[in-house]
Structure 1
Amino acid sequence: MDLSHLIERNATFTPDKPALRFDGGTLTYAELQQRIATTAQALKAEYGVGRGDRVAILSLNHPDYLVLLYACARLGAMLVPLNWRLAVAEQVFILSDATVKVVVLQQAFATLLPPLTAALPDARPVGLDFTPERGLSFDTLLTRAHGDGRNPHTDLSCPLLIVYTSGTTGRPKGAVLRQEALLWNGMMSQHMHGLTSDDHVLTVLPFFHVGGLNIQTTPALHHGATVTIHDRFTPDHTLATIAQERPTLTVLVPATMQAVLDHPAWADTDLSSLKAIATGSTIVPPALIDRFTARGVPVLQVYGSTETCPIAIYTRIGGDLSRRGSTGLPGLWCEAAVVDDDGAEVPPGAAGEIVVRGPNVFFEYWGNEQATRDALHDGWYRTGDIGTRDADGYVWVHDRKKNMIISGGENIYPAEIERVLLQHPEVADVGVIGVPDPKWQEVPVAYVVRRTGCTVAPDTLKVALTAHVQAELARFKVPRDVVFVDDLPRTALGKVQHFRLKESVRRD
C-alpha cells in the first residue's frame, strides 16, 4: 500500500463526489484518481521515473500539483516543491542539490529553463500550461501514458517529499518526508479539526510549504472531503469564497489573517460556514485571534515545521482554547517535550528547546548527514524553538533559539519584544535583532514599519514605542534603538528572516 491508495479508496466509495475545485472547474474523486494513475504511467513510460527519483514542480497552486504528489507516491518517487518567490539562482541551487530528473513548471516561471539546462542538462522540463523547448506540455505527456504506472517495493516507508526549509537561518536544507509521515500527519489533522468527509477545505496558502499542503489539504483528501484551491492568496478572493462557496475550514497565517481583517469586506462577509480556522507558522498575536473569535469563528493554533510535516502541537476543535497564547498539546500521534541543552526535560514554566518525536518527523536532510545528526537525537527532532510547558502539558512557543540575544548575561527573545511592539496602534510590522555592543555584548534593536497614514513624527514615535515596551517588559529587553523601515525580509508564510535583517544592517 502507498499513499495514493487513499485516493483510490475514496474514488471507490464516492466516485462522483467533488475532490478538488479550482478556477470554476471540478475534479471528482474518480477523475482525480484516473489523472493520478495516468500521470504515474506517463512519468514512468516517458522519462523512466523510478523509485527514489526526484520530480520538481514550480507552480502556483494548481490541481496537478496534488496529482503529481500522488503520482510520485505510486512510483515511489519524490516530489520537490519549489518556492516560486525565490530567485532563479536559489531555485537552481535546490534543483541541483536534489539532482532532479523532471521539472514541471508554469510558463510564468520559464526564466528558470536556461540556467536549469546549464546546471542540469539531463533534467527534462514539462510545461503545465505551455510547451517548453526540449520538453513536453503536461497534457502531451499524459498522452504518452502506458504500462502499470507503479514500481516494485513501493510502500508507505518510501520517501515522498523533499521540502526545502524556508531559510530563516541560512542556506536551505531539503527535509525528506516519508509517505507515512503524511499519513500520520493527516490523522492528527483529523483529530485537530474534527475532519470528516463532509468538510469543505479552502486552501489559499502555497503548496510549496508543508503548511499549505499538509495542515488541511492532503488530510482532507485522505478523508474524502472536498478542497477548493486558490492559486495564490488575496484577501478579496478569500472572503468572497467564504461567503459564496461556504467552506468549513481554512488555514491562515498571521500575515494573511491581518490582510483579511484589514479588507473593507471583512465586517460584512458571512463567516457562518466556518467551524474553525487554523493558524500558525510564527507566533500569533492574540489580538488577531480575538477579532476572529468575536465574529464567532474559533481559531485553532498549530505548531510544527517542515521537519514535522508540519503538525506536532495543536489546539483542537472543541478543546480548551482558553490558555491565551498557547499553541496547545502534543499531537495525538507524536510526542513533544521541552528540554535543556543536555536533553533533560525542564520543569513546568521553565524555558527550553522544544523537541518532537513521532512517525510524522522527517527522515533526513537530503545529502546532508551532518545536519541530520545535529537535528535528530535518539529519534527526537531538536526544533531550535524555545518554549515552555505548563503543568497540564500545554505549550507556549517564545522564539527561535538562534534568534536569542544575550545581553549582559541575560537571554532576550526577539519575539517577546515584537509581540509588545505589535500591540502599539502605529506599528504595522516589526523585527528585532541583536547588534554588537562593547559593554553588553549585544543589545536589541527594533526595525519598525509604521502603519499606513501614521502622522506621528519619527522622533516622537520612537520615544513612545520605547516607553510602550518599557511599560510591559524588563528594562534590559527595551530596544536600544528603534529604526523605521519601509518593509522587512519575510518568508512566503510571513516569518521575519532575522538573518537577512542582520545582513542588511551589516551592509549599511
Structure 2
Amino acid sequence: MTPFDLAALEPLIAAEEAALRAAGIVAGDRVGWIGLNDPAMLATLFACERMGAVLVPLNWRLAAEELQWIAEDAGLALLREGPASGAVTPLPARGEPGCEALLIGYTSGTTGRPKGAMLSRAALHANAENARRLFGLTAADHVLTVLPLFHVGGLNIQTVPALLAGARVTLMPKFEPDGFFDAVEALRPTLSLLVPAVMTALVRHPRWATADLASLRAIGAGSSEVPMPLIEAFHARGIPVQQVYGMTETGPIAIAQTAAEAMAAPGSIGLAAPLCGARVMRDGQEAPVGEAGEIEIRGANVMTGYWRRPDATAEALRGGWFRTGDVGHRDAAGRFWFTDRLTRVIISGGENIYPAEVERVLQSVPGVTECAVIGRPDPRWGEVPVAVIVAGPGFDEAETAARLERGLARFKHPRAVIHMPSLPRTALGKVQIEKLRELTSGG
C-alpha cells in the first residue's frame, strides 16, 4: 500500500488510455473493470473520462451468472481485469448504442435484476465538490480507502474527490482490521470512509483501545443507518463520524454532515449537500417539520437515468427530483433524520441485498411452491437475509443450496431457511411482509 496523488497516477492513466485505444475503444463504449482495490482501476476511470468512454465497475463478489447478465445488459466492449492479471478482454458486444455517461453503477432492483445508474462527468465533478466542502478536503489530506471501489461509496465519497483536490490516497485491496490499524499507525491518514459492519469490526478488535488513531481528523460513514453506540465509540476516541446519505443514483453524496454537525447532532444524516436540494414529501406536498415522508433529491450530482430503462427512469425522476424510496423527516434546524425504507432492501455489511433477487433463484428450485425473503437483525452485519419457503413434492435442500451457489454471491445467501405451510397474503395476493416478520421473529 503506497500513497499516491493524481500526478503520480498520470503515467498509469496515459498507459491505460493507450491500451484502450489500441483495443478499439471509442467514445460511448462501455469498459468493464473487475478486481480488488488498485490504482489501475482509478487510472481506467480517468482514461475513460479523457476518451468519452464509460466505466462499468463490476462487483467481484457476484456469482458468474450475475456478472454475465450485467456484462450483457451494459453491452461491454471489453473487460479490464486487474490488478493480478492486468488483462484486457474484448467482448462480442459491439453495436450496442453509445452512452454519454462517464460511469454506470449497477444497483440491485426490486424486480430482481440490477439497473445501471448513469452518472455523467458533470455528476462526478459535482459530487466531488460536495465532498470537498463537506470534508474540508485540501492537498494536505491523505485518504485511506478500505471500502471496495466497485461501489460509488468507496469510489466517490472520498477517493476520487481527494485526488481531484490534490490530496493523497492509499488503497487497501480489501478491508481487514489489523491491516487498517497498521495503515493508520504507519501512514498517518487524515480521513477514511467506513460502513457500520467495518466500524463494528474495528471497535470489537483487541487493538481498538490502544491503536494510535490520532491522525484521523474524521471518518465518513454510510450505506445504512449507523447505530449510536458505534458513533459514540469513535467520538470517544476524538474522531467525528460524518454521516453521508445517498445512493448510486445520487453520485452518491446527497445529504451529509460536516465534522461540526457530526459532533453537534450525532445520529442525524445531516443537511443537503452543498450542490444538492433535498426535501421530504408526503401526499404530493412537502411534509411539515418533524413529520415523515419520502426523501427526494435533486442536483447536478444526480444520475441522468437508468441505462436502457426509460420506464424506471421516469418512475424515479419526476420534475427533476429523484425519489429515493426512503422515509425520513427534518427537524426545526433543517437537519434530516433517516426513519425507514419504503423498499424491502436488506443492507448487510454495507451490501445491498434485494429480496426479489434471492426469491428469483429460490423460485427456480423444484418443489418450491412459494417463497419470500426478509431481513433479520444481526449484531455483526446489521441485517441478514432469511428465506421463508413453502415446500411441495420434490423439494431438495441440497439442490436449493446448489442453485444459490451458482446464481448468487455468497453474501446474498439466506442465513436461515424457515419452512411454513403458506405465506400470509393480502386479499390481492401480496405477501404481508410485516406479518411474515412477526411469524418468523423466533425462527
TM over 0.5: yes
Tell me how far 1:47 sits from its aligned partner: 2.0
Counting aligned pairs with the same residue, the percent is 46
- Looking at structure 2, the residues matched to 106 and 483 of structure 1 have their Cα atoms a distance apart, in angstroms, of 44
Q: Name the structure 2 match of 1:257.
A: 199
Segment of structure 1 superposing worse, 436-445 or 383-392: 436-445
Determine if the alignment matches structure 1 residue 92 to structure 2 residue 62: no
Partner SS state of residue 297, structure 2: strand
Tell me what 1:43 maps to. 20
Counterpart of 2:14, as a letter, is A
The match for 1:140 is none
CA change 1:168–1:289 in 2 (3 A) is farther
Letter matched to residue 378 of structure 1: G
For the pair 1:76 / 2:55, whether they are aligned, the reply is: no
Higher mean C-alpha displacement, 29-38 vs 191-200: 29-38
Aligned length: 373
The aligned counterpart of 1:278 is: 220
Corresponding position: 1:366 with 2:333? no
CA distance in 1, matches of 2:380, 2:219: 25
Deviation per CA, 1:380-403: give whole Å up to 9, x if none: 000111111112211111222123
In structure 1, the partner of 2:92 is 121
SS of corresponding position for 2:118: strand
Q: Could you say if the C-alpha distance between residues 82 and 428 of structure 1 is closer, same or farther in structure 2, counting changes exceeding 3 Å?
A: closer
**1:182–1:384 Cα change, 3 Å:** same
Aligned-partner Cα distance in 2 for 1:308–1:359? 9
Following superposition of structure 1 onto structure 2, how do residues 390-409 of structure 1 map, counting pairs within 5 Å? 390-403=331-344
Structural mapping, 1:11-30, within 5 Å: 22=1, 25=2, 27=4, 29-30=6-7
| Structure-2 residue corresponding to 1:355 | 296
Q: Distance in 2 between matches of 1:98 and 1:273?
A: 41
Amino acid at match of 2:441: V
Q: Which amino acid aligns with 2:36?
A: L
TM normalised by structure 1 equals 0.68
Quick check: which has more Rg, 1 or 2? 1
Gaps of 5+ in 2: 346-373, 389-422
Partner of 1:499: none
Secondary structure (helix, strand or coil) at the match of 2:260 reads coil
Tell which has more relative contact order, 1 or 2 (C-alpha 8 A, sep 6+).
2
Distance 1:294 1:36 in 2: 41
> For the residues of structure 2 that align with 1:322 and 1:187, how far apart are their CA atoms?
23
Matched, 1:376 2:352: no
Name which of 257, 265, 270 aligns with 1:328: 270
Query: Which of 177, 189, 192 is the equivalent residue of 1:247?
Result: 189
Q: Is the 8 A contact 2:4 2:168 kept in 1?
A: no
The equivalent residue for 1:459 is none
Distance 1:263 1:50, change over 3 A: same
User: Quick one: distance in 1 between partners of 2:77 and 2:225?
Assistant: 37
2:133–2:274: 8 Å Cα contact kept in structure 1?
yes
Q: Distance in 2 between matches of 1:396 and 1:224?
A: 33
Q: Structure 2 length as normaliser, TM-score?
A: 0.78
Report if aligned partners of 1:445, 1:483 keep a CA contact under 8 Å in 2: no
**C-alpha separation in 2, matches of 1:428 and 1:216:** 23
Q: How far is the alpha carbon of 1:430 from its aligned partner?
A: 4.2
1:299 aligns with 2:241: yes
Partner of 1:495 in structure 2?
none
1:436 Cα deviation from its structure 2 partner: 2.3
2:9 matches 1:32 = yes
- 2:358 maps to what in 1? none
Matched, 1:214 2:156: yes
Gaps of 5+ in 1: 1-21, 124-156, 405-417, 447-478, 485-508
1:319 matched residue in structure 2: 261
Deviation at 1:323, TM superposition (A): 2.7
Evaluate the alpha carbon distance shift between residue 121 and residue 71 of structure 1 in structure 2; reply closer, same or farther with a 3 A threshold.
Answer: same
Q: Which has the larger displacement, 168-177 or 71-80?
A: 168-177
Question: Which residue matches 2:409?
Answer: none
Q: Which residue of 2 aligns with 1:19?
A: none
Distance in 2 between the 1:297 and 1:419 partners? Answer: 31
Distance in 1 between the 2:139 and 2:83 partners? 35
Aligned twin of 1:10: none
